[in-house]
Structure 1
Amino acid sequence: MSSAHGTAPARPARWVAGAGRAGAGAALLTTVALLPWLSRTDPALTVLRARSADQDPTPAELAAVREELGLADGPFTHLADWLGGLPHGDAGTSWVSGEPVLPQVTAALGVSVTLMLGALLVTGLVAAAVCARTLRLGARRRLRRERTGTGAAVLAALPKFLLASLLSLAGGVWLGWFPSGGWEGPASMVLPALALGVPSGAMIGGLLDQALPAALHEPWAKTWHAVGFPPRHTARHALRRALPGVLPQLLPTVVALVGGAVAVERIFNIPGLGRLALDAAIAQDLPPLQTATLALVLLGTTAGLLVQALRRALLGRALRDGALPSLPRPELSAGRARRLTAIGCGLALLALVVTGLLRDPLHVDTAARLLPPSPAHPLGTDSLGRDLLARLGHGALRTTAVALAVTAAGALTGLLLGLASRAGAGLTDVVATMPAVLAGLLVTAATGPSLWGAALAVCAVGWSPYAAQTAALLEQERAGGHIAAARSLGAGRLHILRRHLLPALGAPLLRNALLRLPTTVLVLASLGFLGLGEQPPAPEWGRLLSENQPYAELAPWTALAPACALILLSVLAVTATTTPRRGTRHR
């Protein structure tokens, strides 16, 4: 009876989610098809420049390109023709090269998926290392000292393109252990997989490390310890209990490893899907851009379905039958170690900002280019001779304000859409497949390049991790026995939402947002580096990283200074907030 009762409402939910995925995918492909017409530049001029680098084509040449591409027919005719050819294996021909699109996208997808698998392996190993101590001590009932989470915050804040540059330089050039560029075999995958997987693994591991203490404080874990069950057995089941709440974060991670790894692909000269999509978008080469977007949508949808199936397999019948044991709700407390860490990071950042504000961030001295740290320039100078300490200090407020605003907007949007889990599930899966760079190109085409345009682009796609996490935690919470008890006592939906569901979502969402704060800064920086966001000479931290990345070998201090400031900000954000210290039962 319970099985039939539990599966009856699941069918409409699956239909709603499927319709959401189809509708969101169609809307995304339609928006991509409008890119040349939304652009403030003539698409014929952009294509012609991509073909021949001719900066001043004649009107006759432009007219010939417009007629060849059929730009007068409008975007919907092009979209219909492209969709009509897909069932026959024809994705059109490139507007720039004139070559068939499908072989290019298939080859790039194969490279990206291979790199993704390697990066996922690194992600899993790093995540396991981050939460290993909590799992081991918690299973033995010895988890007493407070965990600051500093290690996970530092690793998660590492800029992937800076880490890629350092790995390419150290492992590829200095030591010669692995190829420093190209895609010639399994050895070519090691360094880029490390650059992509280490920060992602730290983020996933940090979230899992936050969820494990609650699972280890459940009554079954205490009972098993009392009767003498092996700690390894308890640890395995605690991991199975906590993992479903973190698994949805793998979906945006997978997409970021495939479509959002543009900077890493460029540093290592990897012909992946993200690089292909970005080059096609910049050149307004519509057929490969549409095909690459479709590949990302299909990949994201497949990954979302696999994650959902794995979550349900881990939770078992209790989730379907509404009898899932409820996780203890943690008491929120900031202990001494966390306070000391937060104070130290805060004082270091304050010293950087105050001393930097006393200097001129725009003063150019070509005779002082790339000077190392000295009393005159405590953090050195950049390639134009500008003082790095001054640029860090003046860019602090702008960087943190925009990143916090974007993170807060994304978390709030994700929370609201995650609460409507049935209607938002399909939309979340599709939006999670869209790289922020592509969103930035679409927004910039309509609004022009600006910092707030880049922020809008990040907000447009940045809510999906929070929505996926909210929906997963909400499903588990609703299946708990305390919810059934509250309903049997006459509690209404509003009461259950206010007293049970929202308090259970608050701490995990906050932790997720804080761990993603440095990523937001770096995504905004990448958009600015491509000319879609903050424009020079603005002293924004992420832009400082992007501008100085080419000088990491010659003058490493130019990149390390903003990277260390970003790490300090991340550690401060994680340690300054209250986090679970010990478990209590639901009230």
Structure 2
Amino acid sequence: MRRWPVACAAAAGVLVVLPFLLPHPDVPDFAAILAPPSAAHPLGTDQLGRDVAARMVAGARLTLGLSVAAVLLTGLFGVAVGLLAGASKGPFGAVLVRTADLLAALPTVLFGLLAAVVLGPGVPALLVAVCAVGWTPFARQAHLLTVRETGREYVEGVVALGATRARVLAVHVSRNIAPPLVAHACLRFASTLLTVSGLSFLGLGVQPPTAEWGAMVAEGREYLFAAPHVVLVPSVAVVLTAAAATVLGRRLSGGGG
């Protein structure tokens, strides 16, 4: 497990350094349109002659940044809702849980369409679509963990010593349910990454010519047979990154993998 922080730090360092070593991601080269991988262009060029490697690095910062931001926003809100629902013994907690269940049944693409109509396609619409539904898995997970944790004997002991319910939730319960929630966040990052890329692929998220992995796949799909690297490179990046996050989440949760 100690290798994961080192690997993440190394990947972040690569994303910082590579832009200085690669061509500008948005500068076309009409003399090298759809060029295959070569020494000059390690991952080839796209339909406008732009360097695919440079666009992959620029796209990584946007795709991964949006995914991390969405997981943080939905995680904080969802965990807060789950804690309140788990600690509440009355109808308030039941309403919160039922609301989360209802929203979880709705497809993210639906919210993407609604957000695109109201805000226009772009990053704001993408974040609204992802966050509108993305908090529900965190809320349900936090609710289950909180119910289980508040039933333990140490909670009754802490309350008997004079601690308030708010302090018990904020200090003791939150600390004990944090590890499984961190593992859950890694798993949610994988699905969020796929959602962010998928919405951009459908034209509801990041718009061309901005480099983003899903948008790059959408731009290059017409050239799949003439220059497969234009589609395969960002597609493989999405799949491998999501798989790595899933493996990390499972290991953190003790599921192996």
Q: TM-score normalized by structure 1?
A: 0.38
When residues 448 and 348 of structure 1 are mapped into structure 2, their CA distance, relative to the original with a 3 A threshold, is closer
Residue segments in structure 2 that go unaligned for 5+ positions in a row: 86-92
Choose which of 14, 19, 35 in structure 2 pairs with 1:351.
14
Choose which of 37, 40, 58 in structure 2 pairs with 1:394.
58
Map residues 60-139 of structure 1 onto 2, 5 A cutoff. Answer: none
1:59-95 superposed Cα distances (whole Å, 9 cap, x missing partner): xxxxxxxxxxxxxxxxxxxxxxxxxxxxxxxxxxxxx
The aligned counterpart of 1:407 is: 71
Residue segments in structure 1 that go unaligned for 5+ positions in a row: 1-147, 149-334, 582-587
The aligned counterpart of 2:145 is: 473
Which amino acid in the other structure matches residue 141 of structure 2? Q
1:271-294 superposed Cα distances (whole Å, 9 cap, x missing partner): xxxxxxxxxxxxxxxxxxxxxxxx
Distance 1:420 1:461 in 2: 18
Distance 1:458 1:537 in 2: 22
Aligned-CA RMSD value: 3.0
When residues 519 and 556 of structure 1 are mapped into structure 2, their CA distance, relative to the original with a 3 A threshold, is farther
The aligned counterpart of 1:529 is: 201
Q: Does residue 561 in structure 1 map to residue 233 in structure 2?
A: yes
The aligned counterpart of 1:441 is: 113
The aligned counterpart of 1:462 is: 134
When residues 368 and 349 of structure 1 are mapped into structure 2, their CA distance, relative to the original with a 3 A threshold, is farther
When residues 387 and 427 of structure 1 are mapped into structure 2, their CA distance, relative to the original with a 3 A threshold, is same
Q: Is the 8 A contact 1:359 1:390 kept in 2?
A: yes
Q: Is the 8 A contact 2:187 2:245 kept in 1?
A: no
Q: Is the 8 A contact 1:349 1:569 kept in 2?
A: no
When residues 409 and 580 of structure 1 are mapped into structure 2, their CA distance, relative to the original with a 3 A threshold, is same
Distance 1:525 1:426 in 2: 29
Q: TM-score normalized by structure 2?
A: 0.80
Q: Is the 8 A contact 2:63 2:196 kept in 1?
A: no
> Identity, % of aligned pairs?
38
1:371-404 superposed Cα distances (whole Å, 9 cap, x missing partner): 3321111112223332111101223333232222
When residues 432 and 393 of structure 1 are mapped into structure 2, their CA distance, relative to the original with a 3 A threshold, is same
Q: Is the 8 A contact 1:411 1:463 kept in 2?
A: yes
**Following TM superposition, by how much is the alpha carbon of 1:484 offset from its aligned partner in structure 2, in angstroms?**
2.8
When residues 490 and 352 of structure 1 are mapped into structure 2, their CA distance, relative to the original with a 3 A threshold, is closer
Q: Between Structure 1 and Structure 2, how many residues are aligned?
A: 243
The aligned counterpart of 1:380 is: 44
Q: Is the 8 A contact 2:63 2:197 kept in 1?
A: no
Distance 2:221 2:138 in 1: 30
**Following TM superposition, by how much is the alpha carbon of 1:342 offset from its aligned partner in structure 2, in angstroms?**
3.9
1:414-445 superposed Cα distances (whole Å, 9 cap, x missing partner): 01211232131110010001111100111122
Which amino acid in the other structure matches residue 512 of structure 1? H
Q: Is the 8 A contact 2:83 2:169 kept in 1?
A: no
Which amino acid in the other structure matches residue 456 of structure 1? V
**Following TM superposition, by how much is the alpha carbon of 1:356 offset from its aligned partner in structure 2, in angstroms?**
3.8
Choose which of 515, 534, 539 in structure 1 pairs with 2:187.
515
When residues 353 and 535 of structure 1 are mapped into structure 2, their CA distance, relative to the original with a 3 A threshold, is same
Larger Rg: 1
Distance 2:179 2:43 in 1: 37
